Structure 1
């Protein structure tokens, strides 16, 4: 009960802020709203004496919503950024508007920052850094300072670094708001059946999991370190190095990046960088990370990318990362490649094989729906293709064929759209499909060609071999059991209680699939498969 009261109080406050920005009942959507909601609209517009004057309600619905979420604070800013990744829930146009939601807040005092740094790294600031600047950037969760390390054996003159510090008290504030989000999601899922397909509780859980990762800067540092290892030999892309000695749960120190922000196109052109190459590089780097490594930067917008003097893309801010497993990578690569090749029946088959579409649906009807979405793309200039309209149609197809929401794939699709936007900012005529094709083709040849099939078969044979190595032990136990049974036989047969006999029979039936003869047959088939592949 207490949780319900607290959640209602927090959500009522949020509704009032949204209402004052005309973002709770936007004019553009009122014709589609139920009358009961419209009846509540005046309550959301009332301003109490201590709440000050009305807010500016200019701009479209998405802009007003972004402004209201920013006013509500850190948890709502993150909620807005997360919803920008879910056009299946809020629609592609609103999702597109929320991608511009600014995660900027006033910095907290320098004295507080120094205290947090000292607590985090376990030593006075002056022992760790010879210089520590005022905040150069402040967001909802943390702020960043530029610093220079004290001289040591590795860096006799010190090293320029960026120091990221969590906001004080941020964990408690997020936990309170997230609890309200969970209460609302549970209430909706329990009482409104049409919303269950979107799995609101799972959506909030995904948001909460992401926020927890961002609240522990050691995890962000670990993500940077992992991606740095994955991309160490990749041309044209690199990741800053982590200073682990000066990193803790609330403080992260990393190499300072000297480069031009990816958002400053004029400066990049003036510096002589090849803008078409940068457009290809950002697309191909992202696809390599996703398809090859199954681990990708899921917030790869212009604000988190720099271009160094050598023309390398350098990524920062690894608070939001995406992972997809081997099966999802294979399906996604085949889907994308099938779309590029315009083989819609094969793309439909992949969806059914992956279990994305219920088996009760028609494969050919699904292929026809895919064709209706993809065909308008081909043969048109890249600058004329609207990714927003494309996503809108894709999610309409999702609803028509009862596809369940797959958060990891939604995140991948969202990041792909963001990365395409970066590529087109570099090169307005950039075509994502032309950049994607060689990466996807190479990945499929490597992972699905004859050599890969031989490796898979060999791995399967090794696993069978490990199982078969236990066969003598199994046979020995069987022999001992037979001997014991033989010793227990009298003139009337084996003396076993009827209940025990029934249990043994049931166990034998369950284990029938794992009998030695079956494993021998499987081993023989595995050997034949390898022989055929060779």
Structure 2
């Protein structure tokens, strides 16, 4: 009860601040429970006065100002909800997308104390120079400093978490959980959107951002993934001067990618840079399953060699093989107008419940894909198309997929950056070779064989390591021994099934035979071991 009371008071304060800025915080069409009705009545005079005074101020500015006043955790919540148009609606999502993560810097004395506590000793033991903050956000701020590297003075960027930021965030997260549970209880239609799971996802991303060693590991992982790529790189990490609350990396002395005229004056091909931004992002997402989820203009620079350098790896996205296959097939299906295949992949991935038909979903795909045919490159937005795709989730009872929503949000940002560099950029020309390359590597017969090989290892591992299975295997040893001695045989029904399957798909035929033979080999190996 005390927790519920405290959370109610915190949320009431948040509602009051939002009302002060004339922000409507209950979505249209949502029944308003009695406590919120009373809160709305209580704040109505404030709302009317605020709206009158801020009549000329854009709604998006009001939302951003209100969230900034509520504190860093609400700024982060706003940024996170900007990725969830399926939850808050496209209008509010667009407003929140403009929210800038800026805050007042904390003092040099607090920064010194944080560094000394994290790294040990005195600040001067680690840095020969340590300057004032150059950027401050809701969770951390960045300082420019210098270190000695083999006697050479080298500039570094030092990111430091805000003092006591964890306590503030987790207190507000408790309020978010309380609100999410209330929404699920009082508004059943919202359960499909999984409000509690949304807060779970916010907590997870916040946990990652609160440990700067994990950000360093993300930079290191991406560096490993892209070491053979051209045109895109990440900063080097100074692991000696990195801890949970302090991250030290190479200082990037490049041109901000937003300065298109400056880049042109320096002789850089901005159209090529735009293509590199888009293709790099798609390659990271589809090939590696690991992408920078906050690639806005403030986090991208162009170095003296013309390479794009990304910074701020606090928010990263991951896609598993099913999600990557989904993305590649969707892009390829829309590009080639193979809408049936683009629809079928949703069912194969389990995104659409089986009581719907592939044909009906293919019709929805056609409604998305056909309007782009014959239009000029600058009129087509891949991010908008993905947004339309996710808008069909309710119609086809699709469960919310946070990783794909994060991808779509990131695609909006990256597409905007690329289009600023080249307004005529054809996103489909940029995407087609990346999607095709992934499909050839992963969906070709050779890719299927690799995947089958991984599957056999997993099956073998499970069979060999599960005690319950090993206990039951003894009862079947005699029968399997006879099968092994007599040679591997399949009954008529199995042969007929394989034959009918092979008529549908040559790849499926190969996969079936590999699976059958592999399982037989595993069983024979088990017999020999036992």
Give the superposed CA RMSD. 3.2
Distance 2:445 2:367 in 1: 34
Q: CA deviation at 1:119?
A: 0.8
- Could you tell me whether the CA contact under 8 Å between 1:20 and 1:55 is conserved in 2? no
* 1:321 to 2:309 alignment: no
Contact 1:47 1:54 in 2 (8 A): no
Q: CA deviation at 1:272?
A: 1.5
Question: Which residue in the other structure is 1:6 paired with?
Answer: 6
Counterpart contact for 1:96–1:388, Cα < 8 Å: no
> Once structures 1 and 2 are overlaid, which stretch shifts more, 287-296 or 453-462?
453-462
Q: Quick one: which of 230, 237, 240 aligns to 2:232?
A: 237
Cα shift at 1:454:
3.3
Q: TM-score of the superposition, structure 2-length normalised?
A: 0.84
Q: How does 1:42-57 map to 2 (within 5 A)?
A: 42-45=41-44, 56=54
Query: What's the counterpart of residue 508 of structure 2?
Result: none
What is the aligned partner in structure 2 of residue 78 from structure 1?
Answer: 76
> Larger Cα Rg: Structure 1 or Structure 2?
1
Once the 2 structures are TM-superposed, how far is the Cα of residue 61 of structure 1 from its aligned partner? 3.0
Aligned to 2:87: 89
Q: 1:12 to 1:276 in 2, by over 3 A?
A: same
1:399 maps to which of 394, 399, 412: 394
* Most deviating of 434-443 and 445-454: 445-454
Question: Equivalents in 2 of 1:439, 1:426: separation in Å?
Answer: 20
Distance of 2:399 and 2:457 partners within structure 1: 36
Which residues of 2 match residues 504-519 of structure 1 at below 5 A? none
Local SS of the residue matching 1:162: strand
Asked whether the 8 Å contact 1:81–1:101 carries over to 2, the reply is: yes
Structure 1: gaps of 5 or more residues? 482-507
TM-score normalised according to structure 1 size: 0.84
Written as runs of structure 1 = structure 2, the 5 A alignment for 1:271-286 is 271-286=266-281
Q: Paired residue for 1:382, among 373, 377, 384? A: 377
Alpha-carbon distance, 1:273 to partner: 1.2
Q: Structure 2 CA distance, aligned partners of 1:6 and 1:299?
A: 33
Given the superposition, is the C-alpha separation of residues 3 and 465 from structure 1 closer, same or farther in structure 2, using an over 3 Å criterion?
Answer: closer
CA distance in 2 between counterparts of 1:291 and 1:370 reads: 21
The separation in 2 between residues aligned to 1:407 and 1:352, in whole angstroms, is 18
Describe the superposition over 1:178-210 as per-residue Cα deviations: whole angstroms up to 9, x where unpaired. 000001101111222100000000000100110
Structure 1 residue 292, shift from structure 2 partner = 1.1
Structure 1 residues 456 and 195: alpha-carbon distance in aligned structure 2, compared to 1, 3 A threshold: closer
Superposition pairs of residues 368-517 of structure 1, within 5 angstroms: 368-385=363-380, 390=385, 393-459=388-454
Alignment match of 2:96 (pick from 91, 95, 98): 98
Trace 1:203-352 onto structure 2 (pairs within 5 A).
Answer: 203-352=198-347
Please identify, of 306-315 and 394-403, the stretch whose mean Cα deviation from structure 2 is larger: 394-403
In the other structure, the counterpart of 2:197 is 202
Structure 2 unaligned blocks of 5 or more: 491-510, 519-530
How far is 1:451 from its partner? 2.3
Provide the rounded CA distance (Å) in 2 between the counterparts of 1:33 and 1:453.
50
CA separation in 1, counterparts of 2:177 and 2:267? 50
Aligned CA distance change for structure 1 residues 227 and 19 (closer, same or farther; 3 Å):
same
1:373 is displaced (CA, Å) by 1.6
